Structure 1
Amino acid sequence: MAFIRVVTLFFSITYYNYVAGLQVDYTENISIFDAKIGCDIAKLAWDYASKLLPAQRNLHSVYDALELHKCNTTNYRKAVETKSGRSYSPAENEAFVDPEHGSDSNPGTVSHPVKTIDKALSILRAAPIGRTKAMHLKGATYYLESTLELGPEDSGLTILPWGGDEVILSGGRLYKLAWTEYKNEMKPIEQGLDGIADLQLEPGASRQEALFYGKVLSVEECSTACVRNKQCNGFTYYDASSHTYPMMCYLRMDGQWNPVRDVSGSSFSSQKIHIVVADLSDQSPNNFTSLFINSRRAVRARYPDGNPETSGLHTNPTGYVPAAERWLPPATKEPGEEIFIRSPNRTGSYFPFFQIGKGGSVSVFNPPQSYWGTANPSGGGGFTYRVPTGLQFSSNLSIADRTWSNPSTGVVHTFHCKHWGGWQFKLDGRNDKTNHTLTWSYGGIQEARGCDNGSEWYVENIFEELDSPGEWFLDYDTHKLYFSPNGTLPTEAVGTNLEVILSIKGSQSYPVKNIAINDITFAHSATTFLSDYEVPSGGDWTVHRGAAVVVEGAENVTISKCLFYSPGGNGLLLNNYVRGAVIEGNEFVWVGDNAIVVVGSTQLIDGTDGNQPRGTKVIGNLVHEVGVFGKQVCAYVQSLACETELIGNVFFNGPRAGINFNDGFGGGNIVKNNVLFNFVRETLDHGTFNSWDRQPYLTKVRDGKTATLIQAESFITQNLFVGNFH
């Protein structure tokens, strides 16, 4: 991204070894001095974040993520209770909604509220055009059967809570669960299988994940101990020939079960399998891809075991198979069309010309075009996009001994060969006759670069891999939900239904104006990693143009003090023509892909038509735990957008960058007073802040009149960026 002035404090540290401006290569163990530097940086980040977000309700999450409890500090501050800085004047037209006590035959007054959001909208839409409107929602969870759509006729509308309780707009359906037993047994004991090897325990030591039961005389005694312990989900016993754990019995207690082969044959293991089933057919279920139990996203049946929210390449165990035996070669595609615009150009730069490929290998994207679709794209070892068509896995993996009745339900998640992001592939089948292969024909669209090979991988949504407490599987044909319980059985759960919960949509010629969404929780949106993705410009990112909340063709939209909880894909999308949007004081957590996506469109090199987000203010937001599924994602990504103010935000915990400018379109951006840390946790060759500028674009942003490739100047100033992973 050209024409940037940077005045920012960067800390680049590895295990707190690198200090601002001074890179010290420590090859020995971390000293007390190094730990002190780490704590000092963490305290600095905490102090800055506390000043930026003093009233953030979940401020403690910043403290916890910085691990300040290890720094002998008692400087923990709770959020300061302050009144909202935004006043809500009574609107000229108001409608009140109470889903429990209201009636749609009522007029929608505070004393006689309506029951549904749809009825409230119809009342407010009957008001004269140009008047302010307010929809007051009584505290409750609103399970929407379809996306809540606001258009130009809803201009001037504010949606806010009424009564003080939390308002949740849910993209899911609530299911009542009546369970029956399906299976409750110990698997046959296997010799030469070690169920605790991944923990690397000291002999006789216990951890939260595994309990050292003691020395016993037989494998049967160890098995009985596991059966009697309700929390135990498997055991490993070592006979007297073991050099490390002779006659020791270990009980696995964390629900994980990823055993490895023990060539010595001294280990004996078995796993406890408990599965219950609920028939949902009388509740008209959809084919949901996420299930929420007790407000948390549960884990789809998978191999190896792991929770995508809490495990990854930054944890041990990772929840991934370390590698495939080999990757099946990419499909052969006919060459696509190549477009090169030689004039205007940036003569003398590394990326002087606009170029794009259409069709061919990039026909998998929507639209079917990409900077990486040409024969010789420039930048970072560039090559034409392609992805593998399958993988062969080792016969030493435990799944090699199991038959899958319907492998086509499965989804493979894998990292890019160079760890530049991640992919998902929809399985076509599994072949065990000649070798152990998984094959696919769709996927790999979740990052732009492609490669012949993947890296670490796991597979989910396979019924036979339902073997750990907390996992679930939905049979789409019979509508039966299978679940491995971990404690008390839930009586209800939420299955995802909608990808988009709220859509605010007009057009450039007829925009929706002056919409405000205040203090609303958006939850339970569906996963989107197998939906359409596109390559918007010359960066490495692809984007899905969808989110829990989508704003398009709009002016002066404000999203403030909202909670975006566990969106399956992106949290918030500003798409194409958007002017003066304000995203302020929100929290985004457990995000499937990106938290905030701001993306526009151009006519090839020409961006003078204004069909892009401009003048966006992203202020004082807390974003964390992003990239549950996507790995080429971040807290904030901008592509084909300009004149953004990104100020006073706190972003942490993600697999790739915290902030990504996918191109240098237009310029005029300000990145100021932000705190970022714990990024690039699962990927490589990246930074807490990242930008590219491979494609030139014509805009009038620089002086407001002249179409030019030269951007307006952007500023990055007074931020604290901590690069404490890769």
Structure 2
Amino acid sequence: MKVIKKIFNVFFALFLLSINVEAQTTFFVSPKGNDTNQGTQARPFASISRAVDVARETPGKVVVYLKGGTYYLNHPIVFTSEDSPGKNVSLTIRNFKNQQVTVSGSVALHLKWTIYKNGIWQAKVEKKLIFDELFVNGQLQHMARYPNYNPAAHFFGGTSADAISKERVARWKSPAGGYVHALHPCEWGDVHYLITGKNDKGDLTLEGGWQNNRPMGMSKKYLFVENIFEELDTVNEWFYNKKTQILYYYPPKGLNLKTAKFETPQIAHLFEFRGSAANPVQNITVEGLTLTQTLRTFMENKEPLLRSDWTIYRGGAVFFEGAEKCSLENCTLHNLGGNAVFFSDFNRYCTVSGCLISDIGASAICFVGDPKAVRSPCFNYYQFVPLDKLDCTPGPKTNNYPAKCEVYDNLMFNLGQVEIQSAGVELSMCQSITVSHNTIYDVPRAGINVSEGTWGGHTIEYNDVFNTVEESGDHGSFNSWGRDRYWRADKRVLDSIVEKNFNLALLDVVKPITIQNNRMRCDHGWDIDLDDGSSNYIIRNNLCLNGGIKLREGVDRVVENNIMINNTFHPHVWFKNCNDIFMHNIVSMGYQPINVESWGKEVDYNVFPDSASLKAAQDRGIDKHSVCGRLEFVNPRAGDFRLKAGSIAFSVGFKNFAMDNFGVVSPRLKALAKKIPIPSVHVSEKMATDKIIDFMGAQVKNLNSLDERSATGMDSTRGVFVVKVTAGSVAAGFLQANDVILSFDNREINNLDDLSAARMSVIGTNTEVVLFRNQKKLKERVELKMK
């Protein structure tokens, strides 16, 4: 009997233990609570960090409910592997009964305002605080700046060429601590500088400019300054004097300074998941919260992302490093100074879903692995590892990178408010990331960006991406680079490498990247832009509404069954053996190739709008089975570009795909999302032929298109573009196809007339020419024949 009773007690204890493990424990937090409380609904904690500490010691599934209100953090909430509740249980931090819960990186200010002068008020700040941004009643105000903020301005909310002129600087008594923000000279992003003072000549002394991985200084035309006291001259501007701790503010008419809520951010991160591959943070979810007001990080944006145009600040309002099966769900992230969400190094099976992400200083969601996981890494555009020293093992060296994560059903807009070189989703040194059913718009550069091929496997599908490349150039709604370990800036060397060692181009992008069933529109570039060396892509069933599809040099790209409205296919400087396929696509005008001598594995069975465009393709030896004819869409005004029954497109294998499944899917986000502008379909017209002349045995023309600018890397549409060079000619001694002639005989060359005049005026048989080749200037001496 005692034995039976003992066995019963053991089984009962195990039963109770199993109940305890499976049971859910709940804790409550309220801004009105107290951290000495028990964390019950009646007696909640006051801080999230206290609840997390208690949850760490609690076995089984834990839910921390946050009651309505604002939680001001003076340091991030940090999760480590010790917070992981177990393999099959979870920790959730979420709002209680859908109450409005705000987690802020700011501190609330309690100020006593007095009149200063000229509409400006002043208040003493009692504590030493960081003043990087100022929010009044939840709305971001502007640091005192020149020129004044103008939401209709093309770049940065207003720029001026005289922003740092001597005349302007002479007005500033003590500009140290101010900032200069400028566009990259080629419009490839932005650069930022801290003003450290003035020199004895009255010029500013600056520190910075490292925010772009193609450093060329700053634009002389598109720049502005901020945090300058003398520029405080309009409503909604402010300035903080660090020495006197006085805040100056120019309030708008009608604002009650006594009741207005003033806040200033003090931290850059709100939630951090900090683990490692060996000890990951697991099974933690943050859900239903509003995350807001973090510090700007543009001066910390220093780390180069291999040979892409990007540098990065490795951080965000929500930061994941060493996480598994962790997620951010149904949150609102807005008014953040830097990146919203950042996945750094090792992360697996993590998700960002159902989130509204807007008014962000930098990027919405970034995945960036460890450069030490890359074989033979290079970081500068012109840097490379010699072939005899190249690590030729495919794939990564370690597992310290994000993989198998998902970005699903998120609405992202008004991004890159501070940093132009940003994106809705940025992918670098990661693998097999799924980006699905997101709506991304109103961004200064790409909606989705792939920085390099390492290590492929991404699926980018059912996204709605538009109003992109709004404050930059030479880019697309989707953009990629493929400057992997095989790549060189010198195209002739690169051609030779791919011709003799084709498989080197696939050492990093070991899995294909799939772009399918998306709707994209770029009014300032390409809808889909595969730049420098991008390889191993499958691009299918995409609706491109304005910019078409561009493929620069690369290998193994399959482009099939896409629709390009009011645009076409843009192949640029292809390899002879690129192995590309372009089939079953609909274009709205003839192809626009730049220096393409060989057309890949197969270009055929496509649909052109007219016989002239088709004939032009067939004259190049391609599109033997392609067709042309008027295309009847089901309802183009409503965005339904499926083809009606009987269309000639079906005869060459084109297949209709769904037109009602792009973008976010949750009703809440659908109701908030802006609608993509649907273009009117233009009837194809025969394009005017550019004038081409012979120049010393080279065929040259005016550089006058976005395609030519992109193919050469020019900063603007100027100069004379070299189309072809005849072997054995005088030009062959100093020119190559794809060169741009910028100067001849010390005369600036902007067009063919300039070049002809310069050539005719040369005295003697020797002169100098300035060229733009492989995206940099060089000088050549030219031996001329006597006239």
Q: Helix, strand or coil for the counterpart of 1:481?
A: strand
Is residue 427 from structure 1 mapped to residue 195 from structure 2 by the alignment? yes
Structure 1 match to 2:230? 464
Whole-Å separation in 1 of the counterparts to 2:339 and 2:326: 18
Question: What is the percent sequence identity of the aligned residues?
Answer: 32
Whole-Å separation in 2 of the counterparts to 1:312 and 1:597: 28
Pair 453,413 (structure 1): closer, same or farther in 2 beyond 3 Å: closer
The higher relative CO (CA closer than 8 Å, separation ≥ 6) is in: 1
Whole-Å separation in 1 of the counterparts to 2:145 and 2:23: 51
Whole-Å separation in 1 of the counterparts to 2:232 and 2:131: 17
Q: Helix, strand or coil for the counterpart of 1:119?
A: helix
* 1:653-672 per-position Cα deviation (integer Å, ceiling 9, x unaligned): 01111110001112111110
Whole-Å separation in 2 of the counterparts to 1:470 and 1:145: 26
Whole-Å separation in 2 of the counterparts to 1:430 and 1:111: 60
Is residue 291 from structure 1 mapped to residue 291 from structure 2 by the alignment? no
Pair 91,522 (structure 1): closer, same or farther in 2 beyond 3 Å: farther
Structure 1 match to 2:81? 152
Q: Kindly state the Cα deviation for residue 682 of structure 1 after the two structures are TM-superposed.
A: 1.1
The answer to whether the 8 A contact 2:431-2:456 is kept is yes
Structure 1 match to 2:444? 655
Is residue 492 from structure 1 mapped to residue 270 from structure 2 by the alignment? no
Structure 2 residue corresponding to 1:477, chosen from 231, 240, 243:
243
Is residue 303 from structure 1 mapped to residue 234 from structure 2 by the alignment? no
Pair 161,697 (structure 1): closer, same or farther in 2 beyond 3 Å: farther
Structure 2 match to 1:313? 154
* 1:500-530 per-position Cα deviation (integer Å, ceiling 9, x unaligned): 1111111110000011111111100001011
Q: Kindly state the Cα deviation for residue 323 of structure 1 after the two structures are TM-superposed.
A: 6.1
Whole-Å separation in 1 of the counterparts to 2:522 and 2:229: 40
Structure 1 match to 2:511? 712
Q: Helix, strand or coil for the counterpart of 1:159?
A: strand
- 1:277 is aligned with what amino acid? Q
Q: Kindly state the Cα deviation for residue 125 of structure 1 after the two structures are TM-superposed.
A: 1.4
Is residue 448 from structure 1 mapped to residue 216 from structure 2 by the alignment? no
Q: Kindly state the Cα deviation for residue 454 of structure 1 after the two structures are TM-superposed.
A: 2.1
Whole-Å separation in 1 of the counterparts to 2:161 and 2:230: 21
Q: Helix, strand or coil for the counterpart of 2:247?
A: strand
Pair 685,323 (structure 1): closer, same or farther in 2 beyond 3 Å: farther
Q: Helix, strand or coil for the counterpart of 2:51?
A: helix
* 1:184-213 per-position Cα deviation (integer Å, ceiling 9, x unaligned): xxxxxxxxxxxxxxxxxxxxxxxxxxxxxx
Q: Kindly state the Cα deviation for residue 453 of structure 1 after the two structures are TM-superposed.
A: 4.3
Structure 2 residue corresponding to 1:502, chosen from 263, 271, 279:
271
Whole-Å separation in 2 of the counterparts to 1:94 and 1:644: 33
The answer to whether the 8 A contact 1:665-1:696 is kept is no
Whole-Å separation in 2 of the counterparts to 1:413 and 1:710: 35
Whole-Å separation in 2 of the counterparts to 1:709 and 1:540: 18
The answer to whether the 8 A contact 2:453-2:508 is kept is no
Q: Helix, strand or coil for the counterpart of 1:407?
A: coil
Q: Kindly state the Cα deviation for residue 121 of structure 1 after the two structures are TM-superposed.
A: 1.8
Structure 2 match to 1:639? 428
Structure 2 match to 1:678? 467
Pair 623,90 (structure 1): closer, same or farther in 2 beyond 3 Å: farther
Whole-Å separation in 2 of the counterparts to 1:502 and 1:394: 44
Q: How does 1:161-310 map to 2 (within 5 A)?
A: 161-183=95-117, 273-281=118-126, 284-306=127-149, 310=151
Pair 710,463 (structure 1): closer, same or farther in 2 beyond 3 Å: closer
Whole-Å separation in 2 of the counterparts to 1:295 and 1:288: 16
Q: Kindly state the Cα deviation for residue 601 of structure 1 after the two structures are TM-superposed.
A: 0.9
Q: Kindly state the Cα deviation for residue 92 of structure 1 after the two structures are TM-superposed.
A: 2.0
- 1:430 is aligned with what amino acid? K
Whole-Å separation in 1 of the counterparts to 2:153 and 2:92: 40
Structure 2 match to 1:614? 403
Whole-Å separation in 2 of the counterparts to 1:311 and 1:575: 35
* 1:251-299 per-position Cα deviation (integer Å, ceiling 9, x unaligned): xxxxxxxxxxxxxxxxxxxxxx311001112xx2412200111111100
* 1:663-698 per-position Cα deviation (integer Å, ceiling 9, x unaligned): 111211111000011111111111111001112399
The answer to whether the 8 A contact 2:142-2:237 is kept is yes
Q: Please give the TM-score of this superposition, normalised by the length of structure 1.
A: 0.61
Whole-Å separation in 1 of the counterparts to 2:109 and 2:509: 55
Q: Please give the TM-score of this superposition, normalised by the length of structure 2.
A: 0.56
Structure 1 residue corresponding to 2:51, chosen from 115, 120, 125:
120
Is residue 553 from structure 1 mapped to residue 322 from structure 2 by the alignment? yes
Q: Kindly state the Cα deviation for residue 641 of structure 1 after the two structures are TM-superposed.
A: 0.6
Is residue 107 from structure 1 mapped to residue 38 from structure 2 by the alignment? yes
Whole-Å separation in 2 of the counterparts to 1:572 and 1:710: 24
The answer to whether the 8 A contact 1:605-1:697 is kept is no
Q: Which runs of 5+ in 1 are unaligned?
A: 1-88, 184-272, 325-391, 699-706
Whole-Å separation in 1 of the counterparts to 2:269 and 2:406: 22
Structure 1 match to 2:485? 696
Structure 2 match to 1:583? 352
Whole-Å separation in 1 of the counterparts to 2:240 and 2:22: 47
Q: How does 1:272-421 map to 2 (within 5 A)?
A: 273-281=118-126, 284-306=127-149, 310-313=151-154, 319-322=158-161, 393=165, 395=167, 399=168, 403-421=171-189
Pair 677,322 (structure 1): closer, same or farther in 2 beyond 3 Å: farther
- 1:672 is aligned with what amino acid? E
Whole-Å separation in 2 of the counterparts to 1:164 and 1:563: 13
Pair 138,710 (structure 1): closer, same or farther in 2 beyond 3 Å: closer
Structure 2 residue corresponding to 1:566, chosen from 320, 335, 348:
335
Whole-Å separation in 1 of the counterparts to 2:293 and 2:486: 37
The answer to whether the 8 A contact 2:364-2:423 is kept is yes
* 1:353-375 per-position Cα deviation (integer Å, ceiling 9, x unaligned): xxxxxxxxxxxxxxxxxxxxxxx
- 1:581 is aligned with what amino acid? C
Q: Kindly state the Cα deviation for residue 599 of structure 1 after the two structures are TM-superposed.
A: 0.3
The answer to whether the 8 A contact 1:416-1:422 is kept is yes
- 1:393 is aligned with what amino acid? S
Q: Which runs of 5+ in 2 are unaligned?
A: 1-20, 85-89, 377-395, 488-505, 526-787
Q: Kindly state the Cα deviation for residue 480 of structure 1 after the two structures are TM-superposed.
A: 0.9
Whole-Å separation in 1 of the counterparts to 2:415 and 2:166: 31
Structure 2 match to 1:379? none
Whole-Å separation in 1 of the counterparts to 2:459 and 2:305: 22
Is residue 141 from structure 1 mapped to residue 70 from structure 2 by the alignment? yes
* 1:525-577 per-position Cα deviation (integer Å, ceiling 9, x unaligned): 00101124201222111110011110100101111111111110100000000
* 1:440-460 per-position Cα deviation (integer Å, ceiling 9, x unaligned): 1x2112111011442311000
Q: Kindly state the Cα deviation for residue 167 of structure 1 after the two structures are TM-superposed.
A: 0.8
Structure 1 match to 2:454? 665
Q: Quick check: which has more Rg, 1 or 2? A: 2
Is residue 98 from structure 1 mapped to residue 24 from structure 2 by the alignment? no
Whole-Å separation in 2 of the counterparts to 1:116 and 1:571: 22
Q: Kindly state the Cα deviation for residue 103 of structure 1 after the two structures are TM-superposed.
A: 2.7
Q: Helix, strand or coil for the counterpart of 2:42?
A: coil
Pair 453,163 (structure 1): closer, same or farther in 2 beyond 3 Å: closer
Pair 305,609 (structure 1): closer, same or farther in 2 beyond 3 Å: same
What's the Cα RMSD here?
2.2
Q: Helix, strand or coil for the counterpart of 1:508?
A: coil
Whole-Å separation in 2 of the counterparts to 1:697 and 1:575: 25
Paired residue total: 458
Structure 1 match to 2:695? none
Q: Kindly state the Cα deviation for residue 311 of structure 1 after the two structures are TM-superposed.
A: 4.7
